[in-house]
Amino acid sequence: VNGGAWMLLGTFAFQPGQNHRVVLTDDGDGFVIADAVKLVRAPAAAPPAEEVVVDNAAATLVGTWTATDYTLDGPFRDADWIYHAAGTGTASASFAPALPAAGTYRVYARWTQRANRASNAPFTVHHAGGSTTVRVNQEVNGGIWVLLGAFDMAPGQNHRVVLTDDANGFVIGDAVKFVLETNARAVVADAVKIVGESVPAVDFAAMSSSVLREYVTLEGRPLALIENGQIQYVHPDHLGTPQKMTDASGALVWDAVYRPFGEAESITGSATNPQRFPGQVYDSETGFHYNYFRDYAPGLGRYVESDPIGLDGGLNTYAYVGGNPLNKTDPTGRYWKLIWEGCKAVWKWFRKSKPKPKVDPLRVAKCKQAFAACIGNTSIPEETCFAAYSTCIATKGPMIFPGYGAVK
């Protein structure tokens, strides 16, 4: 089993000139096969966390605050929060993060909106340059991350965000988020076109034009990410939403769990992938998903902007795919109905057509892996990779895939 794939033997310490090696012997219960051995240098240290979230349960309280006594959706998800009536500023809630490194952090606050909320709730950010008070209107913008500003902060300096009751209504503390600014990025849609397919997005480093990450799609679905010359394979669901990523050795490096409308319940692993629902890219600065023509708020399950075509798209001009995110997608923020009707038409045609020959899923997986390696080799023309992929899928026997080697 597992032929044609790289299998991880383990992680070991190696030094040059020490005759460190891998030896295969015939001490087995059948034929032993030697094809190749690959050594991949592990990173020296894990990268710093992209963001730190301090929930209201971890806040230090002064005065009598009331906490909601139910939890529907877990922490900082608008179902459990603390609140205080308007006062003189003597009551406070302090959100102190465990920062991973010194740097400039974008600071966000989150709350639930109601008509009785304060329109001037004061969040005071204590940072390296002193303190800055930002007043926000909590009658609106509930359920999303609202940017308070960017501030220089460092571990061990008691840098924090303090919310007080010095306001004209109830003040709400749900959570505060700190995002290291070096993780900020600019997303350019359709930045690169190649023969036969498109790389739907390229991430560029802030304040420069260097490419940080390239995205490879095949047949309209995410296939791989190329970052620093390293390929990571994307495993999407039936819609095309990335669920997991593996590296060249097959090890899991990214694992996401989503709520029904696309909000990330949890994301673990050492890799980074901002792709979400088809056509959507997570923006850590706003918490929204960039959806080309509109921005999508996954926590609310709706768009932030109204439908560009007005009521022709339905009575609710902010709705996402008619409230059916498990079966429908909207890659551009405009066309889910047309796409859905088109899919149904294609399916009807397929059912009436002659039976198609079955394709071996293992063969397809091997061909996709080889294609990703080929497309990641800048010395090989893209059209060569696509032609080789078509040949790989159509044939059953061994073939040599450019930039990859033998596909068996």
Q: What does the domain layout of the chain look like in residue ranges? A: 51-182, 186-349, 361-407
Give bridge partners of residue 281 from the DSSP assignment. Answer: 275, 290
Write 199-207 long-range contacts (CB < 8 A, 24+).
200/279, 201/275, 201/281, 203/274, 206/181, 206/182
Round to whole Å and give the CA distance between 103 and 153: 6
Q: For each of the chain's 408 residues, which pLDDT tens digit applies?
A: 677 777 778 878 877 777 888 888 888 888 888 888 888 766 544 444 568 999 999 999 999 999 875 544 444 445 678 999 999 999 999 999 999 888 889 899 999 888 899 999 999 999 999 999 999 999 988 888 888 888 999 999 999 999 999 999 999 999 999 988 754 443 333 333 333 333 445 555 554 455 667 888 876 788 888 887 788 899 999 888 999 999 888 899 999 999 999 998 889 988 889 999 988 988 877 788 988 788 899 988 888 888 876 776 667 888 888 888 888 888 887 765 444 555 566 666 666 665 555 667 788 888 888 888 887 777 787 778 778 888 888 887 788 888 888 887
- Would you state the pLDDT for residue 341? 54
CA distances from 40 to 3, 234, 268, 386 (A): 20, 19, 22, 27
**The domain made up of 51-182 is a member of CATH 2.60.120.260:** yes
What pLDDT is attached to residue 343? 59
Q: Which two tokens stand for residue 402?
A: 């450019």
pLDDT value at residue 218: 76
- CA dist 312 and 322 (Å) reads 13
Answer yes or no: are the C-beta atoms of 256 and 267 closer than 8 Å: yes
Sorted by sequence, the CB contacts under 8 Å of residue 93 that are 6+ apart come out as: 56, 59, 60, 61, 62, 65, 82, 84, 162, 163, 164, 173
Q: Other CB atoms closer than 10 Å to residue 371's CB: what's the count?
A: 27
> How high is the pLDDT of residue 276?
93
Distance, CA of 210 to chain centre: 21
- Residue 87 to residue 64: CA distance in whole angstroms: 11
pLDDT of residue 370: 84
Residue type (1 letter), 164: T
